[in-house]
Homo-oligomer: A and B are copies of this chain.
Amino acid sequence: MKTMRLLVAAPILLFGNAFGQRMVNDVLNYVDPMIGTRRMGHVYPGASAPFGMVQLSPDTDTIPYAVDGKYNGKVYETCSGYQYDDSTIVGFSHTHFSGTGHSDLGDILLMPTAGPLQLNPGTAAAPQSGFRSVFYHANEIAQPGSYYVHLEDHNILAELTATARVGLHRYHFPGRDTVHVILDLVHGIYNHTDKNVWTFVRVENDTLVTGYRQTTGWGRTRTVYFAIAFSEPITHYGQQQDARPTEYRGFWRKFDQTKDFPEMAGKQLRAWFDFDMRDNGKPLLVKVALSSVSTEGALKNMQAEVPHWDFDGVVRETQDAWRQELSRIRVESKRPAVLTNFYTAMYHACLSPTVYMDVDGQYRGLDQNIHTAHGFTNYTTFSLWDTYRALHPLFNIIQRERSSDCVNSMLAHYDQSAHHMLPIWSHHANENWCMIGYHAVSVIADAHVKGITGFDPQHALDACVATAKHRSFEGLGDYIDLGYVPEDKSGASVSKTLEYAYDDRCIQRLAHRIGNKAVELEFIARSESFTQVFDGTTRFMRPRLTDRSFMKEFDPLDTHQKGFIEGNAWNYSLYVPHEPEELADLMGGKKRFGEHLDSLFTMRLDDKYFEKTEDITRDGIMGNYVHGNEPSHHVAFLYNYTDRPWMTGMRTRDVMDLMYRPAPDGLSGNDDCGQMSAWYIFNAMGFYPMEPGSDKYEIGSPILERAEIPLENGKTFTVVAKKQGPKNVYVRSVKLNGETLYRRTITHAEIMAGGVLEFELSAKPPKH
């Protein structure tokens, strides 16, 4: 392995001084994109503009094929393409999910190399066997909008930045003459042997390459078009195909198709491009624009967003964009770790959903036809089972236009859906059907309740109702007929029943606002379905069969207990966000409910249960409370419906302190497209939308000293925490605009009116 050599001036400055030269009070200083890159966070450290279509990030391993499509641990770890503990980088690809628990993407991987041309990636154990390179975290910087790494094996400094639709690379090759750029279209994330459907590459001229990559994976029918421009002329180029070659199938060979043949296509294709950097001293710059529409669309995007070769200019422009997004909440804390946690959470909350249209508004729809977004920006990457909880509600305060765009994007999805359904989990013109419920209705209802405009409420209600009445979807027919999903008909039946019931309350609320009585009555009834799966004997929600009997086998701590998904019965039994009082009643009243919650947070979960739990680390568990996955995200606020409401603050402060840390492994579970981060953002300010679709926020306990939200209506909502301190986790009193609050909630209208929410904190709980 070579020792590190940094021969050119720029990188020395960079690595030596980048952090030292940071501006005081620059909010960017408080973002560390490396947080969550180790173990379960599943975020990527690379360069992206806020909500950008391009996520240009290093991939640390060619994902081992999951043979026969089988789920594979390594595949899971590298959902974002990057794992902090990996020692090599395979290259830089242009699409990544942030924080997901399943994966796809990793499209259009570029890798700069020097020395003999190598066309296979090699292995992490023997990086010299391929084009990959060893890297050290000491020679790596990740910042909002840019990423820098020294590729040790090739002695290349690679710098990355991005606009919304264009990734920009700058490679320094000190002392090298002929260098290569590998375009690896075999590479992908969660690749399995037949994931690659087709790839198509054209060398348009000596500085421009176009093409597309088409895959079948989590997104079943997915195509990414690209245009790649180089700042120096290509001297020679060629291809290697792993699988069966797809030369032109004439009866004889017309050309040498392996070299300087400008049209390449096939299922497993890697191309290479050579550049003569002798006596040049200049870096090689590469622009990669993406499109869902066509290579023509990618070129349009490139010309519109990066018509020049000013790498540093793009870095500045994207940093400015980040400053704008991150400054939508201005906070103060004496604890640097809290500031870093907060702004890193803000950063992660602005990576998804992602823009999914070209600069001219064209995008590929679910029907694989090209559509134009009229009057809105089209987004994709809707991890709705996660993000309906806090991320979309956060947008309804600080990203209100984007929230409208999200609703319109989901309605366009509905319009294009052969199922006539709103998205469940959608990305890149595909419904991937991941997880349960139809939580798009929650996002839509929450937006409408919170005054988001720019979409047609009647159309939205129609879409919600059509989705909620799709009888063949996941036990919905039985749910409608019986009042619950029977486990013998559709698995995870209790989780589904509970989430449908909540979603149905959202539809009822929307119908109420629009004045549709019939729909309101229908869905208010449906929203009570949680009572149907409550087992009064065990006081847990419990799977029921078609004959209405409860399932015999039942262990509320087992995460593999039938009837549930991604959470055990103990946790899921608390999922009635729209009727917490009724839940408390079912659980035996306020006092008993409080004790029940105490036991959740304090029990010792036997290892036999934990071992089966995925998506979270041991750090993500507190007793049997699993913060590393979403079904518990509302649980702490249920204390507000017990006789000890101050425990909400105590628990949320505990979670913030223990489960969000400014370190690569600082996220205790998947960030899930910003949901985990949005939870932190709300709670750091001391309130949380336990029931999206309603106008209420539960009061918690802020970890910040002060937070100001400069609202889009010109007003400012300010949170002040008096007597803040690491141990002062209990809320003594809350005042809104000077008036003491005798409730445990505030309303959206109160936030939007501006004003001051003042907490007084204490190390001790109030007298009980």
Measuring CB to CB, which residues of chain A are less than 8 angstroms from any residue of chain B?
A: 69, 71, 102, 194, 197-198, 200, 202-204, 210, 212, 214, 216-218, 220-221, 244, 246, 248-252, 254-256, 260-263, 265, 267, 294-296, 367-370, 418-419, 431-434, 472-474, 491-492
The residue in chain B whose Cβ has the minimal distance to the Cβ of A254 is: B433
The 14 sampled A-B contact pairs (Cβ below 8 Å) are: A71-B251, A198-B214, A198-B216, A198-B221, A210-B367, A217-B249, A220-B246, A248-B432, A249-B432, A251-B434, A254-B433, A254-B474, A255-B474, A260-B472
- Among all A-B residue pairs, the 9 with the closest Cβ atoms: A262-B418, A202-B418, A263-B418, A294-B369, A296-B369, A250-B433, A254-B433, A248-B433, A221-B265
A428 to chain B, nearest CB (A): 14
B216 near A263 with CB under 8 A, answer no
A220: chain B residues within 8 A (beta carbon): 246, 248-249, 265
B432 near A367 with CB under 8 A, answer no
Q: Tell which of B221, B260, B418, B472 touches A256, judged by Cβ atoms closer than 8 Å.
A: B472
A370: chain B residues within 8 A (beta carbon): 294, 296, 370
Alpha-carbon gap, A198 to B223, bound state (A)? 12
Alpha-carbon gap, A203 to B367, bound state (A)? 11
A418: chain B residues within 8 A (beta carbon): 202-204, 262-263
A262 near B432 with CB under 8 A, answer no
A152 to chain B, nearest CB (A): 36
A69-B249, A212-B368, A263-B418 known; 6 other A-B pairs, CB under 8 Å?
A: A198-B216, A221-B265, A248-B433, A294-B370, A295-B367, A296-B367
A252: chain B residues within 8 A (beta carbon): 491-492
Alpha-carbon gap, A71 to B252, bound state (A)? 12
A368: chain B residues within 8 A (beta carbon): 200, 212, 294-295
Alpha-carbon gap, A69 to B244, bound state (A)? 10
- Supposing A249-B218, A473-B255 touch, asked if A198 and B197 sit within 8 A by C-beta, the answer is yes
A434: chain B residues within 8 A (beta carbon): 250-251
A198: chain B residues within 8 A (beta carbon): 197-198, 214, 216, 221
The residue in chain B whose Cβ has the minimal distance to the Cβ of A261 is: B472
A262: chain B residues within 8 A (beta carbon): 418-419
A474: chain B residues within 8 A (beta carbon): 254-255
Alpha-carbon gap, A673 to B265, bound state (A)? 27
A251: chain B residues within 8 A (beta carbon): 71, 102, 434
Alpha-carbon gap, A204 to B472, bound state (A)? 16
Most B C-beta atoms less than 10 A away, residue of A250, A474, A492: A250
Alpha-carbon gap, A492 to B492, bound state (A)? 67
A90 to chain B, nearest CB (A): 23
The residue in chain B whose Cβ has the minimal distance to the Cβ of A249 is: B218
A408 to chain B, nearest CB (A): 20
A418 to chain B, nearest CB (A): 4
A247 to chain B, nearest CB (A): 9
A203: chain B residues within 8 A (beta carbon): 418
A246 near B491 with CB under 8 A, answer no
Alpha-carbon gap, A418 to B203, bound state (A)? 7
A498 to chain B, nearest CB (A): 17
Q: Tell which of B210, B254, B369, B432 touches A473, judged by Cβ atoms closer than 8 Å.
A: B254
B250 near A221 with CB under 8 A, answer no
A197: chain B residues within 8 A (beta carbon): 197-198
Most B C-beta atoms less than 10 A away, residue of A217, A248, A295: A248
